[in-house]
Structure 1
Amino acid sequence: MKSYREILELTIPSRRQFINITPRVENALAQSGIKEGLCLVNAMHITASVFINDDESGLHADLEKWLEQLAPEKPYSQYAHNGSEDNADAHLKRSVMGREVVVAVTEGRLDFGLWEQIFYGEFDGKRNKKIMIKIIGEECGNDGRKPKH
Protein backbone atom coordinates (compact mmCIF):
# COMPACT_ATOMS: atom_id res chain seq x y z
CA MET A 1 0.00 0.00 0.00
CA LYS A 2 1.32 3.43 -0.95
CA SER A 3 0.32 6.81 0.48
CA TYR A 4 0.68 10.28 -1.05
CA ARG A 5 -0.14 13.65 0.53
CA GLU A 6 -0.22 17.10 -1.04
CA ILE A 7 -1.39 20.46 0.27
CA LEU A 8 -2.99 22.86 -2.20
CA GLU A 9 -2.80 26.52 -1.31
CA LEU A 10 -5.29 29.06 -2.61
CA THR A 11 -5.72 32.77 -2.12
CA ILE A 12 -9.42 33.58 -2.08
CA PRO A 13 -10.07 37.22 -3.08
CA SER A 14 -13.74 37.29 -2.03
CA ARG A 15 -15.71 36.20 1.02
CA ARG A 16 -17.50 33.42 -0.86
CA GLN A 17 -16.43 31.50 -3.93
CA PHE A 18 -16.68 28.07 -5.56
CA ILE A 19 -13.49 26.88 -7.27
CA ASN A 20 -13.18 23.80 -9.47
CA ILE A 21 -10.09 22.02 -8.12
CA THR A 22 -10.48 18.85 -10.21
CA PRO A 23 -7.43 19.53 -12.44
CA ARG A 24 -5.23 20.07 -9.38
CA VAL A 25 -6.48 16.84 -7.78
CA GLU A 26 -5.89 14.96 -11.05
CA ASN A 27 -2.35 16.36 -11.14
CA ALA A 28 -1.73 15.15 -7.57
CA LEU A 29 -3.04 11.71 -8.54
CA ALA A 30 -0.64 11.58 -11.50
CA GLN A 31 2.24 12.63 -9.23
CA SER A 32 1.33 9.89 -6.73
CA GLY A 33 1.74 7.03 -9.20
CA ILE A 34 -1.22 5.30 -7.56
CA LYS A 35 -3.42 3.38 -10.01
CA GLU A 36 -5.98 1.71 -7.72
CA GLY A 37 -7.21 3.14 -4.42
CA LEU A 38 -8.95 6.11 -2.85
CA CYS A 39 -8.46 9.85 -3.00
CA LEU A 40 -9.54 12.02 -0.06
CA VAL A 41 -9.79 15.77 -0.57
CA ASN A 42 -10.63 17.95 2.42
CA ALA A 43 -10.81 21.59 3.38
CA MET A 44 -8.38 22.43 6.16
CA HIS A 45 -10.55 25.29 7.42
CA ILE A 46 -13.77 25.22 9.42
CA THR A 47 -15.41 27.82 7.20
CA ALA A 48 -14.81 26.03 3.89
CA SER A 49 -16.04 22.92 2.13
CA VAL A 50 -15.03 20.38 -0.50
CA PHE A 51 -17.88 18.86 -2.47
CA ILE A 52 -18.70 17.14 -5.76
CA ASN A 53 -21.17 18.55 -8.24
CA ASP A 54 -21.64 19.79 -11.80
CA ASP A 55 -19.48 22.66 -13.08
CA GLU A 56 -22.39 24.80 -14.21
CA SER A 57 -22.63 28.51 -13.39
CA GLY A 58 -26.41 28.49 -12.89
CA LEU A 59 -26.12 25.70 -10.35
CA HIS A 60 -23.36 27.58 -8.52
CA ALA A 61 -25.56 30.70 -8.38
CA ASP A 62 -28.43 28.57 -7.05
CA LEU A 63 -26.16 27.05 -4.36
CA GLU A 64 -24.96 30.50 -3.32
CA LYS A 65 -28.55 31.82 -3.09
CA TRP A 66 -29.78 28.74 -1.21
CA LEU A 67 -26.92 28.83 1.31
CA GLU A 68 -27.45 32.54 1.90
CA GLN A 69 -31.15 31.88 2.59
CA LEU A 70 -30.26 29.11 5.07
CA ALA A 71 -27.56 31.12 6.87
CA PRO A 72 -27.53 34.79 5.88
CA GLU A 73 -24.27 36.65 6.47
CA LYS A 74 -25.99 39.74 7.90
CA PRO A 75 -27.03 41.02 10.30
CA TYR A 76 -23.98 39.78 12.19
CA SER A 77 -25.83 40.30 15.47
CA GLN A 78 -28.21 37.40 14.74
CA TYR A 79 -25.50 34.87 15.69
CA ALA A 80 -24.22 34.10 19.19
CA HIS A 81 -20.84 33.11 17.69
CA ASN A 82 -20.25 36.58 16.28
CA GLY A 83 -18.43 38.57 18.91
CA SER A 84 -14.90 39.29 17.84
CA GLU A 85 -15.62 37.54 14.51
CA ASP A 86 -18.30 37.93 11.85
CA ASN A 87 -18.24 34.47 10.29
CA ALA A 88 -20.92 32.39 12.03
CA ASP A 89 -22.75 32.07 8.72
CA ALA A 90 -19.62 30.55 7.14
CA HIS A 91 -19.46 27.86 9.85
CA LEU A 92 -23.11 26.97 9.23
CA LYS A 93 -22.69 26.89 5.43
CA ARG A 94 -19.73 24.55 5.79
CA SER A 95 -21.80 22.27 8.03
CA VAL A 96 -24.38 21.94 5.25
CA MET A 97 -21.88 21.49 2.39
CA GLY A 98 -19.51 19.09 4.17
CA ARG A 99 -15.81 18.89 4.88
CA GLU A 100 -14.45 16.41 2.34
CA VAL A 101 -14.98 14.02 -0.52
CA VAL A 102 -13.59 10.58 -1.24
CA VAL A 103 -13.27 9.45 -4.86
CA ALA A 104 -12.32 5.97 -6.06
CA VAL A 105 -9.15 5.73 -8.13
CA THR A 106 -9.44 3.22 -10.96
CA GLU A 107 -6.76 2.61 -13.58
CA GLY A 108 -4.96 5.76 -12.44
CA ARG A 109 -7.96 8.06 -12.87
CA LEU A 110 -10.58 9.61 -10.60
CA ASP A 111 -13.61 7.35 -11.04
CA PHE A 112 -16.32 9.97 -11.54
CA GLY A 113 -19.85 9.79 -12.81
CA LEU A 114 -20.75 11.91 -15.82
CA TRP A 115 -20.43 15.66 -15.02
CA GLU A 116 -18.92 15.16 -11.56
CA GLN A 117 -16.17 17.58 -10.56
CA ILE A 118 -14.51 18.44 -7.24
CA PHE A 119 -15.07 21.94 -5.84
CA TYR A 120 -13.65 23.97 -3.01
CA GLY A 121 -16.36 26.13 -1.43
CA GLU A 122 -15.11 29.16 0.48
CA PHE A 123 -17.49 30.95 2.86
CA ASP A 124 -15.08 33.25 4.75
CA GLY A 125 -12.32 34.13 2.31
CA LYS A 126 -10.08 37.10 1.60
CA ARG A 127 -7.01 35.20 2.81
CA ASN A 128 -4.84 32.16 2.08
CA LYS A 129 -6.48 28.75 2.44
CA LYS A 130 -5.31 25.13 2.32
CA ILE A 131 -6.77 21.91 0.95
CA MET A 132 -5.33 18.48 1.70
CA ILE A 133 -5.22 15.69 -0.85
CA LYS A 134 -4.48 12.22 0.56
CA ILE A 135 -4.28 9.30 -1.86
CA ILE A 136 -3.85 5.70 -0.73
CA GLY A 137 -3.63 2.61 -2.87
CA GLU A 138 -1.48 0.50 -5.11
CA GLU A 139 0.74 1.39 -8.04
CA CYS A 140 -0.53 -1.72 -9.88
CA GLY A 141 -3.94 -3.17 -10.58
CA ASN A 142 -5.45 -6.06 -8.59
CA ASP A 143 -3.73 -8.60 -10.84
CA GLY A 144 -0.30 -7.11 -10.08
CA ARG A 145 0.13 -5.66 -13.58
CA LYS A 146 0.08 -1.99 -14.43
CA PRO A 147 -3.46 -1.11 -15.62
CA LYS A 148 -4.07 -0.22 -19.26
CA HIS A 149 -5.19 3.32 -20.07
Structure 2
Amino acid sequence: MRIFFKEIRVSTSSRFEIIDITDRVEEVVHKSGICNGMVLVFAPHATAAIIANENEPGLVEDLLTLIREIFQPERAWRHNRIDDNAHAHLASAFIGASRVFPVKDCRVVRGTWQNIMLVEMDGPRTRRVIVEVMGE
Protein backbone atom coordinates (compact mmCIF):
# COMPACT_ATOMS: atom_id res chain seq x y z
CA MET A 1 0.00 0.00 0.00
CA ARG A 2 1.19 3.51 -0.84
CA ILE A 3 0.34 6.72 0.98
CA PHE A 4 0.42 10.22 -0.51
CA PHE A 5 0.02 13.27 1.71
CA LYS A 6 -0.69 16.83 0.60
CA GLU A 7 -1.77 19.94 2.48
CA ILE A 8 -3.79 22.53 0.62
CA ARG A 9 -4.66 26.02 1.83
CA VAL A 10 -8.06 27.61 1.48
CA SER A 11 -8.63 31.31 2.12
CA THR A 12 -12.08 32.33 3.28
CA SER A 13 -13.52 35.83 3.12
CA SER A 14 -16.58 35.67 5.41
CA ARG A 15 -17.47 34.50 8.89
CA PHE A 16 -19.73 31.85 7.33
CA GLU A 17 -18.83 30.43 3.94
CA ILE A 18 -18.81 27.19 2.00
CA ILE A 19 -15.99 26.68 -0.47
CA ASP A 20 -15.91 23.91 -3.06
CA ILE A 21 -12.56 22.10 -2.93
CA THR A 22 -13.51 19.16 -5.15
CA ASP A 23 -11.13 20.04 -8.01
CA ARG A 24 -8.23 20.49 -5.61
CA VAL A 25 -8.89 17.11 -3.96
CA GLU A 26 -9.19 15.44 -7.38
CA GLU A 27 -5.88 17.04 -8.39
CA VAL A 28 -4.14 15.59 -5.31
CA VAL A 29 -5.58 12.14 -6.06
CA HIS A 30 -4.34 12.40 -9.65
CA LYS A 31 -0.85 13.51 -8.55
CA SER A 32 -0.68 10.67 -6.02
CA GLY A 33 -0.64 8.04 -8.76
CA ILE A 34 -2.90 5.92 -6.56
CA CYS A 35 -5.75 4.47 -8.60
CA ASN A 36 -7.56 2.26 -6.09
CA GLY A 37 -7.94 2.97 -2.39
CA MET A 38 -9.34 5.85 -0.40
CA VAL A 39 -8.81 9.54 0.23
CA LEU A 40 -9.16 11.29 3.56
CA VAL A 41 -10.06 14.98 3.48
CA PHE A 42 -9.46 16.53 6.91
CA ALA A 43 -9.68 20.10 8.19
CA PRO A 44 -7.42 20.30 11.27
CA HIS A 45 -9.52 23.07 12.81
CA ALA A 46 -12.08 23.13 15.62
CA THR A 47 -14.25 25.75 13.90
CA ALA A 48 -14.50 24.43 10.34
CA ALA A 49 -15.93 21.29 8.76
CA ILE A 50 -15.85 19.17 5.62
CA ILE A 51 -19.06 18.13 3.86
CA ALA A 52 -20.10 16.33 0.68
CA ASN A 53 -23.11 17.89 -0.95
CA GLU A 54 -24.40 19.73 -3.98
CA ASN A 55 -22.71 23.04 -4.74
CA GLU A 56 -25.87 24.84 -5.82
CA PRO A 57 -26.01 28.47 -4.63
CA GLY A 58 -29.48 28.18 -3.08
CA LEU A 59 -28.57 25.00 -1.21
CA VAL A 60 -25.29 26.52 -0.03
CA GLU A 61 -27.22 29.47 1.43
CA ASP A 62 -29.76 27.06 2.95
CA LEU A 63 -26.95 25.11 4.63
CA LEU A 64 -25.43 28.28 6.05
CA THR A 65 -28.85 29.46 7.24
CA LEU A 66 -29.46 26.13 8.96
CA ILE A 67 -26.04 26.24 10.66
CA ARG A 68 -26.77 29.77 11.94
CA GLU A 69 -30.25 28.75 13.15
CA ILE A 70 -29.14 25.59 14.94
CA PHE A 71 -25.89 26.86 16.43
CA GLN A 72 -26.98 30.49 17.05
CA PRO A 73 -23.84 32.68 16.91
CA GLU A 74 -25.58 35.39 18.95
CA ARG A 75 -26.48 33.03 21.83
CA ALA A 76 -24.69 33.49 25.16
CA TRP A 77 -22.68 30.26 24.96
CA ARG A 78 -20.25 29.76 27.89
CA HIS A 79 -17.27 29.43 25.55
CA ASN A 80 -17.97 32.93 24.25
CA ARG A 81 -16.55 34.28 27.53
CA ILE A 82 -13.16 33.14 26.19
CA ASP A 83 -13.61 33.57 22.46
CA ASP A 84 -16.68 34.66 20.48
CA ASN A 85 -16.90 31.47 18.40
CA ALA A 86 -18.67 28.80 20.46
CA HIS A 87 -21.20 28.34 17.65
CA ALA A 88 -18.39 27.34 15.27
CA HIS A 89 -16.90 24.82 17.70
CA LEU A 90 -20.32 23.25 18.27
CA ALA A 91 -21.17 23.11 14.56
CA SER A 92 -17.80 21.59 13.68
CA ALA A 93 -18.26 18.92 16.35
CA PHE A 94 -21.64 17.94 14.89
CA ILE A 95 -20.86 18.26 11.18
CA GLY A 96 -17.38 16.74 11.37
CA ALA A 97 -13.90 17.79 10.36
CA SER A 98 -13.30 15.00 7.85
CA ARG A 99 -14.74 12.81 5.12
CA VAL A 100 -13.36 9.64 3.53
CA PHE A 101 -14.07 8.80 -0.11
CA PRO A 102 -13.24 5.71 -2.15
CA VAL A 103 -10.74 6.07 -4.98
CA LYS A 104 -11.35 3.90 -8.02
CA ASP A 105 -9.72 4.12 -11.44
CA CYS A 106 -7.64 7.09 -10.23
CA ARG A 107 -10.73 9.18 -9.39
CA VAL A 108 -12.63 10.10 -6.24
CA VAL A 109 -15.87 8.13 -6.08
CA ARG A 110 -18.74 10.46 -5.24
CA GLY A 111 -22.35 10.87 -6.21
CA THR A 112 -23.47 13.00 -9.13
CA TRP A 113 -24.42 15.87 -6.82
CA GLN A 114 -21.69 15.41 -4.23
CA ASN A 115 -18.95 18.01 -4.19
CA ILE A 116 -16.33 18.17 -1.45
CA MET A 117 -16.62 21.43 0.45
CA LEU A 118 -15.02 23.25 3.34
CA VAL A 119 -17.50 24.88 5.72
CA GLU A 120 -16.08 28.02 7.32
CA MET A 121 -17.86 29.12 10.50
CA ASP A 122 -15.29 31.44 12.10
CA GLY A 123 -13.76 33.37 9.24
CA PRO A 124 -12.29 34.98 7.46
CA ARG A 125 -9.19 32.81 7.77
CA THR A 126 -6.69 30.79 5.83
CA ARG A 127 -7.50 27.16 6.48
CA ARG A 128 -5.36 24.08 6.04
CA VAL A 129 -6.97 20.99 4.54
CA ILE A 130 -5.11 17.68 4.68
CA VAL A 131 -5.65 15.33 1.74
CA GLU A 132 -4.22 11.85 2.29
CA VAL A 133 -4.55 9.23 -0.43
CA MET A 134 -3.99 5.56 0.51
CA GLY A 135 -4.01 2.52 -1.74
CA GLU A 136 -2.39 1.04 -4.81
Give the TM-score category using the shorter length: over 0.9
TM-score (norm 1): 0.88
Per the alignment, residue 113 of structure 2 pairs with: 115
For residues 10-58 of structure 1, give each alpha carbon's deviation from its aligned partner in whole angstroms, at most 9, with x where no partner exists: 2212111100000000000011000000000011100000110011111
Structure 1, unaligned runs of 5 or more? 139-149
Query: Partner of 1:81: helix, strand, or coil?
Result: helix
Per the alignment, residue 87 of structure 1 pairs with: 85
Per the alignment, residue 96 of structure 1 pairs with: 94
Per the alignment, residue 5 of structure 1 pairs with: 5
User: Would you identify which runs of 4 or more consecutive aligned residues in structure 1 move more than 3 Å?
Assistant: none
* Amino acid aligned to 1:66: L
Alignment coverage as a number of residue pairs: 136
For residues 117 and 28 of structure 2, what CA distance do their matches in structure 1 show? 15
For residues 96 and 51 of structure 1, what CA distance do their matches in structure 2 show? 11
Structure 2, unaligned runs of 5 or more? none
| RMSD of equivalent CA atoms | 1.0
TM-score (norm 2): 0.96
For residues 11 and 73 of structure 1, what CA distance do their matches in structure 2 show? 21
Per the alignment, residue 56 of structure 1 pairs with: 56
For residues 85 and 128 of structure 1, what CA distance do their matches in structure 2 show? 18
